[in-house]
Amino acid sequence: MIFLLNSLDKNSQIKIIKDLSKIIYKSPFFTPTLPRFNKPFKIKISNAGKWGWISNIQGYQYVEKHPETKKNWPEIPSSLLYLWQKHCCKIKMPDSCLINLYSFPNSSLGLHQDNNEKDLTNPVLSISLGSNAIFRYGKNKTNLNEICLKTGSICILKDSSRLYYHGVKKIQKVKENIIDECDFDCFPKNCRINITLRKFEG
């Protein structure tokens, strides 16, 4: 696991937030639910790319259409593809971009592994924007590291870290939230957005 803390400058973060607002306009946030129990997650999500990750009573899956609008997901913006090429891979492009919305103060994400992708040797790239996340991760559930992911931080998962357990314990609000400064109605005040770029198909 490679952390590039505060790696994106303000202008690149603003460009990404604008691109996200266009995605959310076409593909609104929705609340995923837990497989089997159908209990709502404490985050909202949307996607871009050919394959969007969803969760509902049936399980976790990658699907080509938004579960509510039934439309294809919007394209992954070039501002994000550029970061994938810079930090992950020049050859294979991601085909999935999950956008997680954390509201302050009640959002969190339980400890889990990401193993729904077909080829787990492909890397994952994550970008944090807005409020801070208290992020926990480790090889086992019992021995976790904790780190504060601030706005503009990038996290790269490859090789042995690809199957680490990880989750977001809580959200901490910040004095100047760059998402609030952009002033889009689609994002609540004091929120955090996490973007994960992945390759779902081989």
Residues 66, 74 contacting (CB under 8 angstroms): no
Residues pairing with 171 in the sheet:
133
Selection from Fe ion, ligand MD3, none that 108 binds (CB < 5 to 8 A by kind) is none
Residue 148's CB: how many other CB atoms inside 10 A?
Answer: 12
Structure tokens at 106: 């009640």
Q: Which member of 17, 76, 101, 109 binds ligand MD3 (CB under 6 A)?
A: 109
Selection from ligand MD3, Fe ion, none that 164 binds (CB < 5 to 8 A by kind) is ligand MD3
What minimum distance in Å lies between the beta carbon of 134 and ligand MD3? 10
Which residue, 16, 189, 10, is CA-closest to 104? 189
Q: For residue 117, state whether it binds Fe ion (rule: CB under 5 A).
A: no
Residue with tokens 């020049």: 90
Which residue, 101, 82, 62, 77, is CA-closest to 154? 82
Q: For residue 114, state whether it binds Fe ion (rule: CB under 5 A).
A: yes
What minimum distance in Å lies between the beta carbon of 52 and ligand MD3? 12
Q: Which is nearer to Fe ion, 8 or 109 (CB)?
A: 109
Residues 73, 66 contacting (CB under 8 angstroms): yes
Residue with tokens 């400058």: 9
Q: For residue 83, state whether it binds ligand MD3 (rule: CB under 6 A).
A: no
Binding pattern to ligand MD3, positions 23-52, x when CB under 6 A?
A: ------------------------------
Selection from Fe ion, ligand MD3, none that 155 binds (CB < 5 to 8 A by kind) is ligand MD3
Selection from Fe ion, ligand MD3, none that 33 binds (CB < 5 to 8 A by kind) is none
Question: Torsions phi, psi of 185, nearest 5?
Answer: -65, -25
Instruction: Select the span of 6-14, 112-120, 168-176, 179-187 touching Fe ion (CB under 5 A).
Output: 112-120
d(CA 96, CA 115): 14
Q: Which member of 97, 133, 171, 191 binds ligand MD3 (CB under 6 A)?
A: 133
Structure tokens at 44: 């909202």
Restricting to residues 140-159, which ones interact with ligand MD3 according to CB under 6 A?
155, 157
- What angle is formed at CA 19 by the lines to CA 60 and CA 68, rounded to 5 degrees? 40
Residues in touch with ligand MD3 (CB under 6 A): 98, 100, 109, 114, 124, 126, 133, 137, 155, 157, 161-162, 164, 166, 168, 194, 196
